Amino acid sequence: MNFAKNLPDRKWLASGISGVLTWAIVTYAGLGEEVATPLVGAVMAAVHYFVPASVTDIIKRVDDQVIKFARQSPDSPASPE
């Protein structure tokens, strides 16, 4: 079984983990929900923005685009789904 297919992109995984950790820290610090919610959202957005996509994620997107482009040609052996 290939577990790599079932895992989300590195960006989304890092964003989710950072959100959980930020929420735990803010809850432990005793800050209210008025502060916690925007803070967690801002940290998650920042982590998602700054974490680069992995090479395998980029290759998957390129492969999908190449296959989609190849299916448009009538001479292509790629079969339409």
- Which range has the top average pLDDT, 36-40, 65-69, 77-81? 36-40
The model's pTM is 0.62
Q: What pLDDT, on the 0 to 100 scale, is given for residue 38? A: 93
pLDDT tens digits for 35-66?
Answer: 899 999 999 999 999 988 777 667 777 777 77
pLDDT at 2: 53
Domain boundary assignment for the chain? 7-50, 54-81
Reported as a single tens digit per residue, the pLDDT across 2-37 is 555 566 678 888 999 999 999 999 999 988 888 899
DSSP 3-state of 13: helix
Q: How far apart are CA 22 and CA 66, in angstroms?
A: 39
User: Is the Cβ–Cβ distance between 18 and 39 less than 8 Å?
Assistant: no
